[in-house]
Amino acid sequence: MSRNPKPTAEELRCVYDLILRGYDDADILAEYAQLYENGNLMFPYRTDKRFVRERRKELEAASEVLQEHVKKKIDPIVVKRREEHFAQLASVAKSLLANDLESVLEKQTETPVDYTITNQEGLFYTLDKDDLSNRLDDNLQSTFDKYKDWFIKFCFIPHLEAELPTEIKAEGLWDGVINEKPYELIHTLRLLAERKTFNGTCPVCKDWR
């Protein structure tokens, strides 16, 4: 074992706690010495002040970053803006699910797979995969007409990409996914429209995270 093994997460928590409680470097090493003498030391026996100084430096840097993040998370203006941003993203997801796509269910017994749709009047009908792709394509066009292009391209899509399963993303968004995996795309859109929170960042929200 090296003379200065790396601290475990548990040791870090312990040292950080002592630092925050106002112990100076010598006090902390004295704690190690006392625990060592009593046979209660669970960590490597540290005797070098440099070890404590390193931990102090890490903790200060982490605290600064953490404070900034916490401030943003609870700032009421940012909270409100984030809500509005998420609401707008959710409404784009909803718009892509227009024309009954929100109700689509996979008929797993069929080969090739068919999809059952329920219309506004509660009546069922069936679509195949190409129909789903075409309908998504139509919805995409009408969504582009309804929302600003830049919002869809630079805000909605990065958030959507952050949510799509990796194997779907490989298809290349829009053409690939719409044509090859329409049901999987609908599934993700439906989740986002309902959940109304979004992973990933875009130019609008990148500083709120």
Using CB under 5 A as the binding rule, whether residue 189 contacts Zn ion is answered as: no
Q: What span, in angstroms and rounded, lies between the C-alpha atoms of 2 and 127?
A: 66
Residue whose C-alpha is closest to residue 28's, from 55, 57, 62, 4: 55
Q: In whole angstroms, how close is the CB of 155 to Zn ion at the nearest point? A: 5
Q: In whole angstroms, how close is the CB of 146 to Zn ion at the nearest point? A: 18
Angle at 73 between CA 69 and CA 78, to 5 degrees: 115
The single residue among 96, 139, 204, 209 that binds Zn ion, judged by CB under 5 A, is 204
Number of residues binding to Zn ion, judged by CB under 5 A: 3
Query: 125 vs 154, which CB is nearer to Zn ion?
Result: 154
- Name the one range near Zn ion by CB under 5 A: 7-15, 28-36, 64-72, 198-206: 198-206
Q: What span, in angstroms and rounded, lies between the C-alpha atoms of 74 and 121?
A: 44
Q: Which structure tokens are listed for 66?
A: 């953490």
- Name the one range near Zn ion by CB under 5 A: 12-20, 102-110, 183-191, 196-204: 196-204
Using CB under 5 A as the binding rule, whether residue 205 contacts Zn ion is answered as: yes
Using CB under 5 A as the binding rule, whether residue 202 contacts Zn ion is answered as: yes
Q: What span, in angstroms and rounded, lies between the C-alpha atoms of 46 and 50?
A: 10
Q: In whole angstroms, how close is the CB of 188 to Zn ion at the nearest point? A: 16
Q: What span, in angstroms and rounded, lies between the C-alpha atoms of 209 and 205?
A: 7
Between residue 68 and residue 97, which ones bind Zn ion under the rule CB under 5 A? none
Q: In whole angstroms, how close is the CB of 88 to Zn ion at the nearest point? A: 9
Q: Per DSSP, which regions of the chain are E strands?
A: 105-107, 114-118, 124-127
- Specify the 3-state DSSP secondary structure of 23: coil
Contact code string over 145-184 relative to Zn ion, x by CB under 5 A? ----------------------------------------
Q: In whole angstroms, how close is the CB of 173 to Zn ion at the nearest point? A: 16
Q: What span, in angstroms and rounded, lies between the C-alpha atoms of 177 and 167?
A: 10
- C-alpha 193 chain-centroid distance: 16
Query: 14 vs 205, which CB is nearer to Zn ion?
Result: 205
- Interacting residues with Zn ion (CB under 5 A): 202, 204-205
